[in-house]
């Protein structure tokens, strides 16, 4: 492969940004996105503005390269054959199915690259772990006529997200325009995507007989916290199985019944050393995994690691513009969140490439160094616009269809140029105990300079 001298300079000076740009090109390959739109869209149609162009505009905003949709449109004005009003019209009417397909397609295109970088450590060999959780999109500004006199915050939608924690890829998003809909009402598409030996981990909100039996009937498995209202037909003797970092672990067999069907499962009970933030001192987890596959302590550990999906949401919220308060239409809000999940999948591959490259570094401190998510995103964000000026679009198109193995090899070659210290995760020191605020209680404010002078 022959790359320009300018391209190679970016590889040497900012390899992480080059990796991200090449992977974004693969994840958002235009012809694939346009074909996806034609397949999934029910009411929208293509005219002058292609779906791939709309996604590229939103990617600039979501990744923080451009602050607003207007400025992103102005930056791409020469490539967009429509007015800003027409762009907003198409953005506001994007359909839920199109957003869902966008996320699923990105994971399918990026998964082979992660696998080519090296097999991730398996939580449970022979099984695929999937963590399920819901996300409500934050309330928006009241820019629509129907929202002008609303005192309550208007919610533009919500979604269920399925994360594969071993790879860091979001494989499924189930969107819903109704911000007040019950999360359980969105489980049917999740069940439709279940494959044999999938293990779904979720909190008690997803503990319904329909979902548990649906997983089992599709040769899937569950590790889900028991809801207080979950009926159990019979239960056996509760036996002690040791302890974990959280507390004492017990186990008993239980039988669940749905109509005429019966399902034998295990209930893992953890008697916590420290109550949860809700005040619970005991936690029960239901699973249909056999004890030969995973003992009680392992099941407790799987559920505890469910917070990987919460970390995903926090990372997206902190580092990306995944929720734009100015976009009040549900279709627009869900597309923004879907593009943020695609960007998160690209980040997962970049992180995997950096982790694989770390293992080849001779310095043991660097090999074991935790990486800063913020530093990675900031490097990508600050370099992107410079690359857009110095490099033309044609030099990136070769990465759209490159085979996974050569692309993974190229990522590792680029990663050898990384200066690791700027990407070291900062470890915060111990917080100072809070001092009681007893002075100047009768004043609205005080001069810092005067206090320093007296000290």
Is residue 247 in a domain? no
* Closest by Cα among 326, 332, 323 to 87: 332
Number of domains in the chain: 1
* pLDDT, position 95: 94
440 phi-psi bin (left φ>0, alpha ψ -120 to 50, beta other) = left
Task: Supply 224's token pair.
Answer: 């889900």
Is residue 74 in a domain? yes
Is residue 21 in a domain? yes
Task: Supply 242's token pair.
Answer: 């040791």
Is residue 307 in a domain? no
Paired residues of 253 in beta bridges: 266
Is residue 84 in a domain? yes
452 HSE (CA, 13 A, CB side): 3
- Evaluated on CA atoms 35, 37, 41, 47, the torsion sign reads negative
Q: At what angle do helices 330-358 and 15-27 cross, to 10 degrees?
A: 130
Measured CA to CA, the distance from residue 417 to residue 67 in angstroms comes to: 30
* pLDDT, position 341: 96
Contact 75, 122 (CB under 8 A): no
Measured CA to CA, the distance from residue 211 to residue 180 in angstroms comes to: 20
CA–chain centroid gap for 249, Å, is 30
Contact 139, 132 (CB under 8 A): no
Q: What is the DSSP string of 82-108?
A: S-HHHHHHHHHT--HHHHHHHHHHHHH
Paired residues of 283 in beta bridges: 270
Q: What is the DSSP string of 196-256?
A: TTEEEEE-GGG--HHHHHHHHHTT-EEEEEPPTT---SEE---EEEEE-SSEEEEEEEEEE
Is residue 182 in a domain? no
Q: What is the DSSP string of 289-358?
A: S-TTTS-HHHHHHHHHGGGHHHHHHHHHHHHS----TT--SHHHHHHHHHHHHHHHHHHHHHHHHHHHHH
* Residue 356, domain extent: 5-95+327-423
Task: Supply 367's token pair.
Answer: 């090999």
Task: Supply 435's token pair.
Answer: 């001092």
Going residue by residue through the chain, which has 455 residues, state the pLDDT in tens, using 9 for 90 and above.
446 788 999 999 999 999 999 999 999 999 999 999 999 988 888 888 899 999 999 999 999 889 999 999 998 988 899 999 999 999 999 999 999 999 999 999 999 999 999 877 889 999 999 999 999 999 999 999 999 999 999 999 999 999 999 999 999 999 999 999 999 999 999 999 999 999 999 999 999 999 999 999 999 999 999 998 898 888 888 999 988 888 999 999 999 999 999 999 999 999 998 888 888 888 999 999 999 999 999 999 999 888 888 888 888 888 899 899 999 999 999 999 999 999 999 999 999 999 999 988 888 888 888 999 899 999 998 998 888 888 888 889 889 999 999 999 999 999 999 999 999 988 777 778 888 888 888 889 999 999 999 88
* Closest by Cα among 346, 343, 347, 351 to 370: 351
Measured CA to CA, the distance from residue 198 to residue 181 in angstroms comes to: 26
Give the number of other CB atoms < 10 A from CB of residue 283: 19
- Give phi and psi for 360, each to the nearest 5: -95, -5
* Closest by Cα among 159, 114, 170 to 135: 159
Is residue 106 in a domain? no
Helix (H) or strand (E) holding 168: none
Is residue 50 in a domain? yes
């Amino acid at each position: 492969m022959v790359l320009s001298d300018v391209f190679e300079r970016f590889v040497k000076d900012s390899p992480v940004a080059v990796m991200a740009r090449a992977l974004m090109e693969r994840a958002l390959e235009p012809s694939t996105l346009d074909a996806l739109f034609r397949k999934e869209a029910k009411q929208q149609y293509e005219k002058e503005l292609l779906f791939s162009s709309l996604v590229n505009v939103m990617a600039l905003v979501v990744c923080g390269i451009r602050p607003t949709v207007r400025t992103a449109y102005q930056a791409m004005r020469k490539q967009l054959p429509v007015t800003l009003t027409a762009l907003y019209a198409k953005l506001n009417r994007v359909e839920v199915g199109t957003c869902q397909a966008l996320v699923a397609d990105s994971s399918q295109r990026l998964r082979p690259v992660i696998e080519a970088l090296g097999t991730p450590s398996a939580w449970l060999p022979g099984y695929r772990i999937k963590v399920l959780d819901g996300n409500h999109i934050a309330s928006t500004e009241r820019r629509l006529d129907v929202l002008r006199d609303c005192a309550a915050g208007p919610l533009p939608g919500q979604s269920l997200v399925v994360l594969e924690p071993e790879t860091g890829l979001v494989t499924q998003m189930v969107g819903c325009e109704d911000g007040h809909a019950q999360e359980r009402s969105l489980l049917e598409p999740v069940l439709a995507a279940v494959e044999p030996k999938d293990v779904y981990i979720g909190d008690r909100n997803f503990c319904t007989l329909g979902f548990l039996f649906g997983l089992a009937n599709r040769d899937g498995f569950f590790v889900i916290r028991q809801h207080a209202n979950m009926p159990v037909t019979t239960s056996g003797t509760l036996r002690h199985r040791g302890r974990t970092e959280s507390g004492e672990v017990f186990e008993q067999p239980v039988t669940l019944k749905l109509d005429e069907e019966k399902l034998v499962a295990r209930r893992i009970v953890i008697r916590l050393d420290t109550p949860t933030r809700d005040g619970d001192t005991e936690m029960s987890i239901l699973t249909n995994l056999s004890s030969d596959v995973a003992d009680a302590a392992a099941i407790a550990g799987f559920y505890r690691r469910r917070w990987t999906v919460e970390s995903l949401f926090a990372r997206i919220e902190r580092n990306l513009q995944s929720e734009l308060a100015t976009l009040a239409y549900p279709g627009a809000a869900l597309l923004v969140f879907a593009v943020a999940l695609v960007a998160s999948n690209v980040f997962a591959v970049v992180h995997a490439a950096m982790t694989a490259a770390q293992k080849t570094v001779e310095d043991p401190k660097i090999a074991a160094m935790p990486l800063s998510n913020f530093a990675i995103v900031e490097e990508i964000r600050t370099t992107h616009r410079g690359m857009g000026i110095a490099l033309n679009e044609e030099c990136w198109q070769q990465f759209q269809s490159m085979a996974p193995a050569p692309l993974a090899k190229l990522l590792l070659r680029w990663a050898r140029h990384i200066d690791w210290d700027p990407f070291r995760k900062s470890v915060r020191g111990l917080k100072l105990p809070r001092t009681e605020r007893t002075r100047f209680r009768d004043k609205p404010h005080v001069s810092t300079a005067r206090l320093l002078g007296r000290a």
